Structure 1
């Protein structure tokens, strides 16, 4: 497996099937141009077709410094339970350390056992339950 940062909209468009919805070229360009936005792609050694991704966003606050928010992790069904997700999370954590982030966090549904197992296997510690509230601004 090979993991590398996404650097072009074409790479993000090729990863389209891994995302929740259709990838739009203008959003891909905007994501890549935004400071503090990161996305790693995982590839099978013999292929240029992405089999997984992880995205993260640096968040900074005046009294806390910078931490990495793991925004989303996706792995093709055919490549789950082979360490792809863990390797992607570890790549994002390594980048966060490199950038001087004091920590990294992710929100997970408490019933998503696969995600919980992946994050725990990559070294995450459970901080307990929390509520997520959402504003639909469309």
Structure 2
């Protein structure tokens, strides 16, 4: 029998929520899909406070009883084409023992509720090419690869790392 899963918006000032967020981010960071290395000491010490200072940051937690089961960190952006906000699901993690129980689906549903409340035009996320399970879940939830003009192909998510100054 699957445990009852509660999904709620995180309160970054709540110590239990902060601990759950950090624990789940550590699970994600150590997974090959998150890079395979744990969070840095700096990130562990500052992440929750940094998120709390950003009104555009939204955390969603899933709990099975008091056990952290899943997390989504969403960050508000802006669509210049639609002239409306958008919500990016920046991090999504489900603890291994709670996978395939609908936790990810429920986190995405809550993200959509937040996006609708904010008047967003869309939800966005990125997914690794090799993460077929996540891609299937995202397709089931209504996500599709992004493209403007099919003749130009699909969008790619690129990055440029910036070293810390100081």
Give the TM interval when normalised to the shorter protein.
Answer: 0.7 to 0.9
Deviation at 1:14, TM superposition (A): 2.7
Report the TM-score when normalising by structure 1.
Answer: 0.87
Greater radius of gyration (CA): 2
- Structure 1 residues not aligned, in runs of 5+: none
Measured against aligned partners, the alpha-carbon deviations of 1:99-133 in whole angstroms (never above 9, x if no partner) come to 10011111112221111122122222333643222
RMSD: 1.8
Give structure 1 regions of 4+ aligned residues with deviation exceeding 6 angstroms: none
Q: In the TM superposition, what are the counterparts of 1:8-87 in structure 2 within 5 Å? A: 8-9=12-13, 10=15, 11-19=17-25, 20=29, 21-22=38-39, 24-44=44-64, 47-63=65-81, 64-87=83-106
For residues 109 and 71 of structure 2, the distance between their equivalents in structure 1, rounded to whole angstroms, comes to 12
Q: Which moved more, 1:12-21 or 1:2-11?
A: 12-21
CA separation of 1:133/1:125 partners in 2, compared to 1, >3 Å: closer, same or farther?
Answer: closer
Q: d(CA) in 1 for partners of 2:22 and 2:122?
A: 29
Gaps of at least 5 residues in structure 2 are: 30-37, 148-153
Aligned length: 136
2: CA distance, partners of 1:116 / 1:3: 22
Secondary structure at the residue paired with 2:158?
Answer: coil
Structure 1 CA distance for aligned equivalents of residues 80 and 146 of structure 2:
23
Q: Which has the higher helix share?
A: 2
After TM superposition, the score normalised by the length of structure 2 is 0.74
Residues 1:101 and 2:120 aligned together? yes
**Distance of aligned partners of 1:127 and 1:26 in 2 relative to their CA distance in 1, 3 Å threshold:** closer
